[in-house]
Amino acid sequence: MHDISLSILRRLAASGSFLSGAELSMEFGMTRSAVWKHIRQLRSAGYGVEARTGLGYRLSSMADRPLDVEVEQHLATALFGRRLYWHPSLGSTNTEARAMAAEGAAEGAVVVADLQTAGRGRLGRSWDSPSGVNLYFSLVLRPLLPPGRIPQLTLLLAEAVRRAISGLGHGLRPSVKWPNDIFAEGRKLSGILCEMQSEADRAHFVVAGIGINVNQPSFEGELSGTATSLLLETGVPVSRPALLASVLNHFEPLYRRWHDEPDLGFVLGELEAHAFLRGRRVVVDRMRGVLEGTVTGIAPTGELIITDSDGTLHRVASGEARLRK
């Protein structure tokens, strides 16, 4: 959509009532016929815009796009998401948010894309990012904590996403697969990628990227057996703007509390209660070799606790834990 069309959309949403073509043409410095062209563009994008002779235009329905004007009506945050930058297409929301953070973007800024052409996951993997059905967004964070605590953010974000999805109802019982995925019925529903710029004693900023499969109706190839979406799990479409707002609503208080606590202990009970890997046999590839064992918990500092066949406890700080076949 054209930037002016988006501005007119925001103006109509803020008004809540009819605005005349004359008012809009004067406010945006264009002819009434030009205003009409932008109204038609909004309608073609899925927005309901009512037109009445003598009254003008009124926004009657939204289009389920994660734009600021749609997300903000669901937000309960003080900061997160109050500055939201939507793009019809981006290479990667993390790349865009990282550039914005380097230029001074405030904490809580959110970059959202309807389509990613170069979406990224952990370990250099690509993230399938089709247009118009899922959520792809990145959050700028500036935690006032030492860099050693930053890896805990991934689990904190995962818990916020899990809570938001659980709140949808429909019998959903999502679980957190350490350290950065959300699963439903054994298939991947969401992934998180945190990237940090720091010095030895302080983090300048963190960019937290989140992808959630929302209304994708099917998955092709290898993904057909490993990925799922909220639509596939529930059988009903889910509002992307409302879900994005819910994730931010859940994450902001967790993030504030995390600053006041020494570690993740305050949320550890929920992380362990909904841990996908707990009690399962896993294999972890590490620089010192392969570790096999049973997952027995998550440490307050975020490491995965694995007990090997000799009964020795290991704390795994990074890597990928694969289920042992």
SS3 17: coil
Q: Look up residue 75 and give its two tokens.
A: 């937000």
Give how far Cα 234 sits from Cα of 45, 88, 185, 190, 237, Å: 26, 27, 12, 15, 8
Contact 104, 124 (CB under 8 A): no
Backbone angles phi, psi at 12, to 5 degrees: -65, -40
β-pairing, 110-113 vs 313-316, is: unpaired
DSSP state letters, 55-87: TEEEEEE------HHHHGGG---SSTTSSEEEE
Predicted confidence at residue 124, as pLDDT, reads 52
Helix, strand, coil percentages (3-state) for the chain, rounded to 5, are: 35, 25, 40
Burial 145-165 (b: 16+ CB within 10 A, else e): eebebbbbbbbbbbbbbbbbb
Burial 277-289 (b: 16+ CB within 10 A, else e): bbeeebebeeeee
Predicted confidence at residue 202, as pLDDT, reads 81
What are the beta bridge partners of residue 289? Answer: 286
Give how far Cα 74 sits from Cα of 66, 82, 88, 278, 305, Å: 11, 11, 21, 34, 37
Predicted confidence at residue 221, as pLDDT, reads 83
Contact 158, 151 (CB under 8 A): no
Predicted confidence at residue 201, as pLDDT, reads 76
Predicted confidence at residue 233, as pLDDT, reads 94
Predicted confidence at residue 128, as pLDDT, reads 60
What domains are there in the chain, each with its CATH number?
3-61 (1.10.10.10), 68-273 (3.30.930.10), 281-323 (2.30.30.100)
Helices H / strands E in the chain, number of each: 9, 14
Predicted confidence at residue 126, as pLDDT, reads 54
Predicted confidence at residue 120, as pLDDT, reads 62
173 vs 284: CA distance, rounded Å: 26
Can you say how many angstroms the Cα of residue 134 is from the centroid of all Cα atoms in its chain?
A: 10
Burial class (CB in 10 A: 0-12, 13-18, 19+), 260: exposed
SS3 211: strand
How would you write the pLDDT of the chain (325 residues) with one tens digit per residue?
678 999 999 999 999 899 999 999 999 999 999 999 999 999 999 999 999 998 999 999 999 999 999 999 999 999 999 999 999 999 999 999 999 999 999 999 999 999 988 766 554 555 566 778 999 999 999 999 999 999 999 999 999 999 999 999 888 899 999 999 999 989 999 999 999 988 777 888 999 999 999 999 999 888 878 899 999 999 999 999 999 999 999 999 999 999 999 999 999 999 999 999 999 999 998 777 789 999 999 999 999 999 998 999 999 998 888 888 7
111 vs 229: CA distance, rounded Å: 21
24 vs 36: CA distance, rounded Å: 10
Backbone angles phi, psi at 49, to 5 degrees: -120, 115
Look at the chain and count its residues: 325
pTM of the model: 0.91
Predicted confidence at residue 181, as pLDDT, reads 95
With a CB cutoff of 8 Å and minimum separation 6, the contacts of 40 are none
